[in-house]
Structure formats: C-alpha cells, structure tokens
Copies of this chain bind each other. A is one copy, B any other.
Amino acid sequence: MAFELFNRILVSDEDITNITVEGIEIGYEFKLQYPSYRGTFLSCIEKLEIRIDNQLIETPRIGFYINGKEVLINELAELFREYWFITDFAVLRIYGEGLEIGTKHKVEVLLRHRIPYTGYFGNYMVEDAACTKVLNVI
C-alpha cells in the first residue's frame, strides 16, 4: 500500500502512561503522529476515532494535546490556524480510570484527513489512515 509508511507512524510505539495530578490517576495517554510526509492544520482532520481494547472511546473523554494546548475532538475541524508538525507528537489523553501498569492494550486509531492542496480538478483527496498497535502501560 502506498500509504503503508504513514499508517504505521500514526500511533507512536512509545508506551501508554497514566495521567496523574499530584499522585492521583485521572486517565491515561499515548502519542499520535500525523500520518503523512508533511505537517498539516488540524482543520484538515475530518474524523478521529479511538478504540482501546476494541471499545470506542466517547469524544468528551478525549483531550487532544498539541502545541501546548488541549482541544476536543469535535473542535479539530475548526482549528485552521493550529499546525501539527510532522515530527511532533500529539498526546491523546483519555480521562477516566487509569490503566494497570505492566498490562498491554490494543490501541486502534482511525484518522480521516483532507489533503488541502489536492483540488486539481475539483474535490480534495480525503485519506483514511488507520493504525493498530499493542502498547505497554508503564
């Protein structure tokens, strides 16, 4: 597949970590990379679905942290001035219970994105990038 390379970088190989505030667990997080050769504006993300151990995570539980700010999945399409640099990780924060240290979890991410310069003869190309990895919790 032509986009095999980019699919594989979507979910970072780095471990899952719990999010803690003064020692209290309030969720967990892992890292995403934009699945392309170049960076983009967040507004080009048309869909972002996260499944952990085959469970779809509801969007209000998710914080998408990039460039020093945390936004909601539902806001991405409007953030046309927020650039996701190709070698920067976005941190995907899932609020709620933490995960047990030492366990492994299946992380599945689907990211649908518009390629903003491809309107050669009309519509823009829209790509689905998908990546599934089993990550450790440390």
Q: Which residues of A contact B (CB under 8 A)?
A: 69, 71, 75, 78-82
How many chain copies does the complex carry?
2
The 7 listed contacts between A and B (C-beta, < 8 Å) are: A69-B81, A71-B81, A75-B81, A78-B78, A78-B80, A79-B81, A81-B82
A63 CB → nearest B CB, Å: 13
Q: What 7 pairs across the A-B complex have the smallest Cβ distances?
A: A71-B81, A69-B81, A79-B81, A81-B82, A75-B81, A78-B78, A78-B80
A62 CB → nearest B CB, Å: 16
A79 to B79, CA, bound (A): 8
A81 to B82, CA, bound (A): 9
